[in-house]
A and B are shown apart, each in its own frame.
Chain A
Amino acid sequence: MKTLFDKIWDAHVVKHVEDGPDVLYIDRHFIHEVTSPVAFLGLKKRGLKVFRPHQTTATPDHNVPTTNQHLSIVDELSRNQVDMLERNCVEHGITLHKLGTQGHGVVHIIGPEQGLTQPGMTIVCGDSHTSTHGAFGAVAFGIGTSEVEMVLASQCIMQPKPKKMRITINGELRPNVTAKDVVLYVIAKISTSGGTGHFIEFAGSAIENLSMEGRMTVCNMSIECGARGGMIAPNEKTFEYVKGREFAPKGADWDKAVANWKNLKSDKGAVFDKEYTFDAADIEPMITYGTNPGMGIKISEKIPTSEGLKGNDKVTFQKSLQYMGFSEGEEIAGKPVDYVFLGSCTNGRIEDFRTFASYVKGKKKADNIIAWLVPGSVAVEKQIQEEGLSEILEEAGFEIRQPGCSACLAMNPDKIPAGKYAVSTTNRNFEGRQGPGARTLLASPLVAAACAVTGKVSLP
């Protein structure tokens, strides 16, 4: 009796080191410009070549500006990092989706789009949000640069096998409650360290009913509760999404693959180290009020108080509220907002733009709001235009920028100024995450749309 996670992990163990980690074979490796250069440097020092260049795919995303991408990158350090990625890919024969090309985008958006992400695979990338790919029933997780070097050198990494957790969400989601609200709710319930040491399988009817985009949002943020990664058993929806994509199996290979993928589920009676069950009906539109993703509440709720907290817990909580400029026990709804950001590997997919556009259709952006709408990839950018969403958005006063990580992490020109409030569809609200002194409120694309229209924290 095995869990879905066990089935995939165990099938990829090349060797178990006694009293040590497993040597795990990696099917798919993604790299970006920030966490790969030192790994390539390491290979060079050791005189090694990339072992399986065709199993690695590269894209620059963290550093890139989201306007005027046809021009050279202005920031010298950013440009150097992006150029270095290109030089390394050319030297080692790795496919690179350069800025401005059709395949370009945020690494966790383009993998699924191109059919590189498939059920049953092991997938790694030097980026914690690699957990996104778990939405397809893959074991996908973020790694450090030393491990990037391991994969480049041997197509394997050395990892202790994590424990297993299952989070089941049964029932039907209420209107205006999206995948993002589900995952913010889960993190608020189990805390930012509740999943540490574990790999999470998300299950239950509310999860099964999510679109692939929604499943990606949920798995994306599994790292935010400390988990190594998150995953969802593949079903017809998954196969439908993968079918026909560039790197998906074709013809007889497809039939064979689907037959195998149908076995990718936890056996009845499989034992998890930890289980949680939630009721979908308890979830409402969520927003964060503090400086870690576990500090989330329903928009209808008040900011909690420090009552009952002691010692460092209390100090940490108060420091967080002070940074945010909020007081204990006050309403979050109605708080002023300065910026709205739609995008990132969490919510930069086509469905997110559809949701945002459907809400703002026929309405107007509030004058006090600066809004950045950043597609996750060139493919999403194109689809926004083809579906006529760009007209709807422009009419409502929004402009669409070019693909990249943008304001998610303040590594490129899109930074939120100090002291300003940003309702952001991203994944982290850490101090300074979106720029030094920036104050982040994490929320769904639907909530972001509502806030953009009213100019303050609002329910959709």
Chain B
Amino acid sequence: MPLPIENVDTDQIIPARFLKAVERKGFGDNLFRDWRYTSGNTPNPDFVMNKPEYSGTILVGGKNFGSGSSREHAAWAIYDGGFKVVVSSFFADIFKGNALNNGLLPVQVSPEFLEEIFSTIEKDPKSTFTVDLENQTITNDVTGNGFEFEINQYKKECLLNGYDDIDYLVAMKEEIEEFEIHPSTP
């Protein structure tokens, strides 16, 4: 799904007025709400998600994707909207962390490779791309070109094995208590 817009901010991914739920469900329906729907609440035919020729589980955005608020709802909305991977040439920090904590893989590629992805999709919306987390690669199946992306090794293992930071921290309780007894002075 190509979204060749830069600085896609969290208010576009999910506007604040849809953050009122107290459970984590239904956020996918409001993903890109104000771009996806007209002010009359009908689908905007010009928005890429409403064009039948585009589909897939990889969202491709312009540079500085996810800037703005810390709302994890942005990552939830993209994930609930059916995406497993977001590709951009640059991600905002908090968004990247939130995505990783929710099984949504942010893949940072070079500006050139991002351009190649966009132009491949423009030529044929049915083009496919393969993301291999184990080997940290994204491949353009049309051109055969690939890009090796970076990911923190700890986070990679969490994603591959379904580990969770909270389990890790709760298991550290004694070390944390010990730290509280003997804090360091900055």
Contact = CB atoms under 8 A, between A and B. Distances in A.
Contact of A126 (B70, B166, B176): B70
B70 A437 contact: no
Interface string B88-101: 00111110011001
A35 B72 contact: yes
A21 interface: yes
Contacts of B106: none
Interface stretch (B51-59, B121-129, B139-147, B149-157): B149-157
Contacts of A78: 20
A193 B90 contact: yes
B162 interface: no
A340 to B, nearest CB: 21
Residue of B6, B34, B153 contacting most chain A CB atoms (<10 Å): B6
Contacts of A431: 11-12, 34
Nearest to A158: B165
Interface string B78-111: 0000000000001111100110011000000000
A316 B6 CA distance: 6
Interface stretch (B42-50, B60-68, B130-138): B60-68
Interface residues of A, number: 80
Contact of B154 (A17, A149, A411): A17
A196 B17 CA distance: 27
B153 A20 contact: yes
Given A41-B23, A42-B166, A319-B5, A226 B34 contact: no
A180 interface: no
A436 B186 contact: no
A175 B180 CA distance: 48
A21 B11 contact: no
A20 B157 CA distance: 10
A260 B152 contact: no
A34 interface: yes
Contacts of B186: 7-8, 10-12, 120, 260, 263-264
Contacts of B63: 193, 312
Interface residues of B, number: 58
A155 B173 CA distance: 10
B67 A154 contact: no
A166 interface: no
Given A19-B152, A143-B94, 8 more contacts: A20-B154, A127-B69, A147-B97, A160-B152, A192-B7, A228-B93, A264-B186, A430-B9
Interface of A: 7-8, 10-12, 14-15, 17-21, 23, 25, 34-35, 37-38, 41-42, 46, 48, 51, 62-63, 75, 77-78, 80-81, 84, 120, 126-128, 130, 142-147, 149-150, 153-160, 162, 192-193, 196-197, 226, 228, 260, 263-264, 292, 311-313, 315-316, 319, 409-411, 418, 428, 430-433, 436-437
Interface of B: 4-7, 9, 11-12, 15-17, 19-24, 34, 39, 62-64, 67-73, 75, 90-94, 97-98, 101-102, 115, 152-155, 165-166, 168-170, 172-173, 175-176, 179-180, 183-186
25 contacts: A12-B184, A14-B176, A19-B153, A19-B154, A25-B179, A25-B183, A35-B70, A48-B170, A51-B173, A75-B20, A120-B186, A128-B70, A130-B70, A145-B72, A154-B172, A192-B7, A192-B67, A193-B64, A196-B91, A196-B92, A311-B115, A315-B4, A410-B15, A428-B11, A428-B69
